[in-house]
Amino acid sequence: MASPSISVAMATYNGERFIREQLESILAQTIVPTEIVVTDDQSTDSTVQIVRNVLSDEVCRDRGITLTLRVNEKNLGPGENFRHAISLCSGEFIALADQDDLWFPRKLEVLLSEFGADESLLLVHSDARLIDAGGSELPMVLSRGLSMTDAERAAIESGYSLPAIIKRNLVTGTTAVFRRELGELAFQGPTVDLHDGRLAIVASVMDALRFVPLELVGYRQHDANEIGGKPLSLVDTVVALMKSWDDLTAVLAERNKELEDLLGQLGDRVPAQNVIIVRERISHNAWRIGLPSSRILRIWPVLWGALNGRYGRFGRFPHDFTRDMVMPPREVLLGVLRSFTRRSF
C-alpha cells in the first residue's frame, strides 16, 4: 500500500510503569504512524508527562507524526476511553494500542499488507506473545490463552469469521488495525461490548475480519492488567459463575437489541447466510432469557439444550451451559452477600 495514513489510538490511565517502552516500540515500527492520539483517563501519576517527553515536538516533527493528547474531564473507564480516542483519529487506518504492551517492529507493516491484498477487509488482527512485567517472553501465545479452538482459528483465518465471533470475542484490541469507516459504523450508540468486541462483531457480520496467525505484539501480563491474556483461574471462574442470573439475562436482552439494530443499520451489507447466523444467535439468547430464574427449575431445560446441541451450535459450550446451570437469581445472591456482610462486623 502506498503511504496510508495511520492513526494510533491509545487510552491511558496510571500507566507510568510501561508506557515509555510502548511508545518507543510504536516509534520503532518499520511503517511509522502518521498520527498518535492519546486520551488519558485522569491519571494521578506521571503518565501524561511521559507521553509529552517521549513524543516531544521535535520527535514528532522528525518522524512526521501528529500528536493529539487529551486529558478527559472525568474518568470514563477503559472501553469508553478507547472510544474517545478512536473518535479523535483522522487516519484512514486506526491501530489500537494498550499502554503497557510492546509492538514488535513489523506489526503495522504486516497488518497493513493484508488490507492491500484484500480491499474488502475492515479489521485485521494478529496473535501475540505473552510477556511478563519485565518484558521477558512467557511460554504462551494469546490465542492459546484465549482457549481458541481449531474450529475458531479456522474460521477467523479464512475470513468467514462470524460462526466463531458470534459466540464470543476473539479480537484483542492491541493486536488489531481497522479502517476508520468501521469505527464510524460500530460506535453509533452505547454497547454492552468493550470497544474491541464491538469492532469485531460489526466487521465479522460483513465478512470483513481476518486473523493473521503471527505474534506481532508482546502482550504484557502484570498485577494491574484490566484484562489479561491467560486462561481464567479457578477463583476467577467461580466468581464469574456466582454473578446474578438476572444480570446475565439483562445483558443478553441488551445484546439482542444491539444485534437487531445492527442488522437494520447495515442492511444489504450483511450476506444472507450471516443474517441467518445472527438470527439464530438472537433466538438462542431469547431462549436463555426465558429460562426459569430458579436453578432447580432450570436443570432440565438446560440439560436438554446441551443434549440437543443448542449450546454448541449457538453459544459457547460448556461455558454458557455451566453458567445457566449454576448462576443464582438476584435475590439469592443478595441474600448471601447480606449474610456475609453481617458476619463481617
Q: Which of 150, 185, 220 is the last residue of a domain?
A: 220
Q: For the chain, give the secondary structure using H, E and C.
A: CCCCCEEEEEEECCCCCCHHHHHHHHHCCCCCCCEEEEEECCCCCCHHHHHHHHCCHHHHHHHCCEEEEEECCCCCCHHHHHHHHHHCCCCCEEEEECCCCEECCCHHHHHHHHHHHCCCCCEEEEEEEEECCCCCEEEEEHHHHCCCCHHHHHHHHHCCCHHHHCCCCCCCHHHEEEEHHHHHHHCCCCCCCCHHHHHHHHHHHCCCEEEEEEEEEEEECCCCCCCCCCCCCHHHHHHHHCCCHHHHHHHHHHHHHHHHHHHHHHHHHCCHHHHHHHHHHHHHHHHHHCCCCCHHHHHHHHHHHHHCCHHHHHCCCCHHHHHHHHCCCHHHHHHHHHHHHHHHC
One domain for residues 126 and 195: yes
One domain for residues 173 and 208: yes
Q: Which of 220, 249, 269 is the last residue of a domain?
A: 220
Q: Please answer whether residues 51 and 70 qualify as being in contact, where contact means their C-beta atoms are separated by less than 8 angstroms.
A: no
List of the chain residues with pLDDT < 70: 1-2, 224-242, 330-345
258-297 pLDDT, tens per residue?
999 999 999 999 999 999 999 999 999 999 999 999 999 9
Give the integer Cα–Cα distance in Å for 167 and 156. 12
Predicted pLDDT at 222: 75
Predicted pLDDT at 103: 98
28-61 pLDDT, tens per residue?
999 999 999 999 999 999 999 999 999 999 999 9
Give me the domain span that covers residue 264.
234-344
Give the integer Cα–Cα distance in Å for 197 and 169. 5
- Is there a domain that residue 133 lies in? yes
Q: Please answer whether residues 20 and 50 qualify as being in contact, where contact means their C-beta atoms are separated by less than 8 angstroms.
A: yes
Predicted pLDDT at 3: 72
Predicted pLDDT at 288: 97
One domain for residues 184 and 252: no
Cell numbers 491511558 label which residue? 12
One domain for residues 279 and 252: yes
Domains held by the chain: number: 2
One domain for residues 238 and 323: yes
- Is there a domain that residue 226 lies in? no
Q: How far is residue 25 CA from its own chain's centroid?
A: 21
One domain for residues 179 and 310: no
- Is there a domain that residue 229 lies in? no
Q: Which of 163, 190, 220 is the last residue of a domain?
A: 220
- Is there a domain that residue 46 lies in? yes
One domain for residues 248 and 198: no
Predicted pLDDT at 189: 85
One domain for residues 244 and 127: no
Query: How many CA within 13 A on the CB side of residue 309?
Result: 1
Give the integer Cα–Cα distance in Å for 202 and 141. 25
One domain for residues 208 and 329: no
- Is there a domain that residue 157 lies in? yes
One domain for residues 166 and 107: yes
**Which residues make beta-bridge pairs with 211?**
125
Show Cβ contacts of residue 177 under 8 Å, excluding neighbours closer than 6 positions: 6, 93, 94, 95, 96, 108, 111, 112, 115, 123, 124, 125
> What Cα–Cα distance (Å) separates residue 264 from each residue in 165, 259, 278?
19, 9, 12
Does the predicted model carry a pTM greater than 0.85? yes
- The CATH number of the domain where 157 resides is what? 3.90.550.10
Give the integer Cα–Cα distance in Å for 207 and 74. 37
- Is there a domain that residue 227 lies in? no
- Is there a domain that residue 131 lies in? yes
One domain for residues 115 and 87: yes
- Is there a domain that residue 1 lies in? no
One domain for residues 99 and 182: yes
